[in-house]
Amino acid sequence: MSDTVAKHKVVSFIYSILNDKGEVEEKNDSPTDYVHGSNENIFPAVMSEALEGASVGETKEILLPPDIGYGAYDENKTYRSKIEDMPPEYHKIGAEATFRDEDGKELLMKVMSVDNGEVFLDGNHPFAGKTMTVSMTVKAIRDATVEEIGSGIAENYKLSQSSQKVH
């Protein structure tokens, strides 16, 4: 068993996402597991550039500009409406609504502001259009099982996803 991150290793890491001022925007102290070189749910830059060759306990950072991170801010994913045209449940900041486009694709939008008689909803990721820094600390490394290599999903990840669906 190798003690460094490499293809077909299950890597467990914790992370923080920082804005351009170095302030923590998101933090996860509960380890995230993935199969290195196989999981499309993790940014490719994280897998290939940042963690490749890292050891347990090592912290790596990677800069994620919008084009490889959270994408450009898209004005087409925003919506303004007169407050009287919106149901009362969308009159408060943080309320969420799911909309469908003409192709049937769903977009989750969040109420960002309610002022001047208008409700403003935004369906962009909160980090869209921003360059973020991801700081990751490797907590554990192990060989992936044949099943994990085939599916590209770490067993612990599958278990945590199914337990979240129950709640």
**Structure confidence at residue 69 (pLDDT):** 86
Dihedral, 82, 87, 91, 94 alpha carbons, nearest 10 = -120
Tell if the pTM clears 0.95, that is, is over it.
no
In order of their start, the domains of the chain are: 9-70+128-155 (3.10.50.40), 75-122 (2.40.10.330)
Which segments within 42-131 are labelled E, that is strand? 59-64, 78-82, 96-100, 106-115, 118-122
Whose tokens are 């890491």? That residue is 13
Confidence of residue 125 (pLDDT cuts 50, 70, 90): very high
Residue 143's nearest CA partner among 12, 18, 46 is 12
What is the layout of strands, in order, in the sheet containing 24-35?
A: 24-35, 9-18, 132-143, 59-64
Residue 160 has pLDDT above 50, yes or no: no
